[in-house]
Amino acid sequence: MTAAAKTTTTGQGGSRFEVEEFATNGVIFDPTQGRVKAELTARLCGSSGLQEQDVIIESPPSLFGGGQNHGLWNLRSPGSAGSTSAVSSSKEAGARGGQLNFVLKLVKSKRKGSSILTEAEGFISLFEKHPAIVDDPHLAFPLKILKFMEPGGMRGEQDLIVMREVTGQRLSDLIAHKHNANQTPQIMQILEEIGSLLREFHTRYGNKQHGDFQPSNIMYDETTRRGVFIDISGMAQETSKETDMERFCGSLSLLSGFYGPQFFINGKRHIEKGYARRRHTTHGGATYAASAGRSLRSA
Ligand SMILES: Nc1ncnc2c1ncn2[C@@H]1O[C@H](COP(=O)(O)OP(=O)(O)O)[C@@H](O)[C@H]1O
Ligand SMILES: [Mg+2]
């Protein structure tokens, strides 16, 4: 562990964002056991008093869609029934009532192209431009990024992104379930809500585009009726090929291959209707103009 490179930053709402180095042995990363599990538990759960034997780190059942990551795990303390704490305003990172629910996402640390930021670089850049993003309840912004370091101080090939687990289901799964249950009106209602949320998001972040706005990157909790956007590091990319609305409608068009042409027509109409009718938002405001303070790039 290299504590010297640690950078801690606290958002105005109390959420923390930390970038730290993580010493690896140059072998395949397996957080489910051994030294790696012990060290991750200490780094992620230390303040809650939980120890290695108190948490379970495991891969979720295989997920359909997406697939840009190199590995995905859930870290949970026993008693947390899957998704409970989610993206909340809880000041204790990811913890509520002593229970923890984190998602660990392994990603490449090298750029795919000279002008394409890595996920870690994207998050750091977003934080520098929009410090209050760490407190945004509608975005899965990480709590911690672990930059892998190999023996001899060489930069490793990967980074680990640590996020709170968001409650609810992916919109792609929700649409499938509701379609099978003949609940198309409910799907359309949710699409309208997501449209409003997208409009708020564009307004809050100076019309920055999510960059991959499609149903497997949106979580929706039917109990709280809260939508949360995940896989958001693409927001940091200065240019995107298509707008979020174009990208989303493109995926509705693909889905209409399964659900019929009317699904595309209705779905597009409802998301656009929601987008036009932006909800009132209380989140953000002037805090988004605040300075990022110390640069994280040096971390
Ligand atoms: N913060 C989170 N909370 C809950 N589930 C998540 C979270 N982040 C990712 N996931 C799950 O992992 C899947 C893949 O994550 P994502 O960030 O979209 O990676 P990829 O770049 O591979 O698309 C998502 O579709 C979702 O099911
Ligand atoms: Mg994704």
DSSP-assigned letters across all residues of 58-89: EPPSP--S---SSEEEEEE-TT--SSSS-S--
CATH of region 169-276:
1.10.510
178 close to 259: Cβ distance less than 8 angstroms: no
In the chain, ranges of CATH 1.10.510 domains: 169-276
Residues with CB under 6 A from ligand 1: 63, 66-69, 72, 103, 105, 140, 163, 165-166, 170, 216-217, 219, 230-231
- Tell which atom from ligand 1 comes closest to the C-alpha of 216: 25
Ligand 1 atom having least distance to the Cα of 107: 21
Q: How far is the CA of 228 from the centre of ligand 1 (A)?
A: 11
- Determine the average pLDDT of the residues in 145-169: 95
Q: Which of 114, 82, 120, 88 lies closest to 101, judged by CA?
A: 82
- pLDDT tens figures, 68-107: 788 999 999 876 544 333 333 333 445 445 578 999 999 9
Q: Reply yes or no on whether the pLDDT at 299 is more than 70.
A: no
Cα 129 to middle of ligand 1, angstroms: 23
Question: What is the Å distance from ligand 1's center to 177 Cα?
Answer: 19
Residue 118 confidence (pLDDT) above 60:
yes
Please say if the pLDDT value at position 20 is more than 60.
Answer: yes
114 within 8 A of 162, measured Cβ to Cβ: no
- Which atom of ligand 1 has the smallest separation from the CA of 172? 25
Rounded CA-CA distance 88/178 in Å is: 26
pLDDT at 291: 29
pLDDT value of position 74: 95
Query: How much of the chain exceeds pLDDT 90, in percent?
Result: 66
Q: Which ligand is nearest to the CA of 68?
A: 1
Q: Look up residue 262 and give its amino acid.
A: Q
Candidates 58, 61, 63; CA nearest to 216 is: 63
